[in-house]
Structure 1
Amino acid sequence: MKLLVCGGAGFIGSAFVHQRVAAGDEVRVLDALTYAGRRENVEGLDVDLVVGRIEDPGAVEQAAAGVDAIVNFAAETHVDRSILDAQAFVTTNAVGTYTLVEEARRRGVRYVQVSTDEVYGSIREGAFTEEHPLEPSSPYSASKAGADLMVLAAHITYGQDVVIARGSNCYGPRQFPEKLIPVMTLNAIHGGPLPVYGQGDQVRTWLHVDDFASGIHAALAHGESGQAYNVGGAKEKINLDVVRRIIALTGASEDQVKHVEDRLGHDFRYALDSSKLRALAGWEPRMDFDEGGLESTVHWYRDHEWWWKPLVATDEYRAYYRRVYGQDPAF
């Protein structure tokens, strides 16, 4: 296939691009190269990189020329940033999705929206199926839920060929140091405080980025038009236990754990039922969080200072980190 991968220079998007290039697909990447998107993430791959924003119709029209499908990873993704200022989330996640869906409709090509378990809100017991209502809790998840509904409306209204893939918490190489695992890993390696929200008893289900990427391809290749598919991890973990495991892997001390004020509107637990995707395409996550997944990720950050160091050396990053955690990072 000839694919337009929006946000393909970011964390999850670049994992998908690596897989599809290896599989022989022709890939064009549209990416704004903001703080979380980097040329280095697709360096050495035979891809056509177009620099532009998904809310820009001109850039989208140029990038979409001749493609068979559009897969949209492009998004503002961090809940903390959305709480501080939601404007960019509305612009990219909602307006950008609308722009892409319109282009896909104009060209008559399949459109895949990459979404998140956070659109469902929090669940105390059991797991979300695709039939659960969307009850987002943050400006970030609200903007993603709105985008999902816009995509589904395009199918209902116009009969447009669309599919949604909703993933659980991802981890792995090339994740910007604002999410739990890279932040804790880098602080642990450098002997600094490990800022844990509240009591650290929030529950997340972890999915390696390569497994999410393969699940998205399963939805692209086999998904029924107008349907959403959950792409969930197999390991449910309490946040504080994840931090303790990182401490063990890095040789840090539990004395470094510093409980900070909890995030506003913090969802307690996410869990996805992925049986619909498994039945459709036989998809299964392959990377075990406990048996090599987390450890290989920690080692990647330890061995790739050249990748993350320029990202965290900026005044913008330091100011953001202080606003969120009330302290400076150790790295």
Structure 2
Amino acid sequence: MRILVTGGAGFIGSEYVRQRLSADPAARITVLDKLTYSGVEANLAPVAGHPGYTFVRGDICDPDVVGEVMADHDAVVHFAAESHVDRSIEGAGPFVRTNVLGTQVLLDAAVRHRVGRFLHVSTDEVYGSISEGSWTEEWPLSPNSPYSASKSGADLLALAYHRTHGLDVVVTRCTNNYGPYQFPEKVIPLFITNLIDGRTVPLYGDGRNIRDWLHVSDHCRAIDLVLHGGRAGEVYNVGGGTEVSNHKLTGLLLDAVGAGWDRVSYVADRKGHDLRYSLDDSKIREHLGYAPQVSFADGLAATVAWYREHRSWWEPLKARAAL
């Protein structure tokens, strides 16, 4: 199977590419990435010498580029997206363009080139916020940020192409990811790197917002299960099974680097800040045998250690982005 991976130089996409190529000497993967601020080609350095690896720099919104690279591929795993909520609040345009228009361009090319399977990687944020219980895949979409609204639009487009054109589409919706190579604007790497440097960390509101955390390697294993075993036209939730408030998460990170609460700066809450995310992922567990393998305690400790050991990776990124 020859797989086209969009956004393969980003955090989750590069983990998927490294995971698949490291596990299979015969794998064939083409990465299509625009290399915007959070796409880092160095993320793929560990597998750059693999004989089945090809990198193409290009924009998923460009029909000519997409059409050319789509040819001769059996499947698409679509990670490419603008994904930072705070940036979407500041300006929604790039999110609509990349997440909605870019997905539409890819879907059109997939239909035209008769691609065998199109896996669209989405997020639990499309469901909105839930105070009790957990979302199933049938839950109505109710996004609260421009980012999650754009991802909702992309989800619906992908599923519509299955129903309208017969394209073999599957959609995954995951909880918050963490792990190595995550761009340091996201909360866990931002807090780790700030604390390592002796700086303060910004905690929104009172920190009571709750997220379910999923190690990126577990997420990518789930994606591969869905790619090879998921049913066409279906959505699969992917959870980590660890719900933690932002306040508790901050405490865990402070402890991990030996810092105190005097290093925490309480800041005004984010606009439209969702209180709690929680996925019911029994479908992928029961149908495809998924289960997370990395405990949150072990994964967080390993992530802190990775950022301690890879200053040369994150320091230039933070300087360039003025983080």
Q: TM-score, normalised by structure 1?
A: 0.94
Specify the alignment match of 1:34 in structure 2: 36
Q: Match for residue 243 of structure 2?
A: 236
| Paired residues for 1:1-331 under 5 Å | 1-24=1-24, 25-45=27-47, 46=50, 47-109=53-115, 110-290=117-297, 292-314=298-320, 317-318=321-322, 321=323
- Post-superposition offset of 1:312: 1.1
Q: Deviations 1:174-200 (Å, cap 9, x if unpaired)?
A: 000111101111111112111000000
The separation in 2 between residues aligned to 1:105 and 1:214, in whole angstroms, is: 26
Please report the TM-score for the alignment, with normalisation by the length of structure 2: 0.96
Secondary structure of 1:313 counterpart? helix
Distance 1:64 1:7 in 2: 14
Contact 1:168 1:232 in 2 (8 A): yes
Say if 2:119 and 2:172, in contact at 8 Å, map to a contact too: yes
Structure 2 unaligned runs (5+)?
A: none
In 2: Cα distance, 1:138 partner to 1:202 partner: 15
Q: Deviations over 1:42-86 (max 9, x none)?
A: 114121000001111111112212111011000000000000011
CA contact (8 A) 1:189 1:252 kept: no
Give the gaps of 5 or more residues in structure 1. Answer: 322-331
Per the TM alignment, residue 105 of structure 1 is displaced from its structure 2 partner at its CA by 0.9
* Distance in 2 separating the partners of 1:160 and 1:128: 26
Q: 3-state SS of the aligned residue for 2:292?
A: coil
CA distance in structure 2 between the partners assigned to 1:23 and 1:276 by the alignment: 26
Q: Deviations over 1:223-252 (max 9, x none)?
A: 110111001111110111111111101011
Q: CA deviation at 1:253?
A: 1.3
Does the 8 Å CA contact 1:122/1:268 hold for their aligned counterparts? Answer: yes
Q: What residue identity is the alignment partner of 1:29?
A: V
In structure 2, distance between residues paired with 1:286 and 1:155: 32
Q: Identical aligned pairs, as a percentage? A: 51
Report the residue type matching 1:9 in the other structure.
A
Instruction: State the distance in 2 between where 1:306 and 1:53 align.
Output: 27
Deviating beyond 4 angstroms after TM superposition, the runs of 4 or more aligned structure 1 residues are none
Contact kept in structure 1, 2:18 and 2:46, CA below 8 Å = no
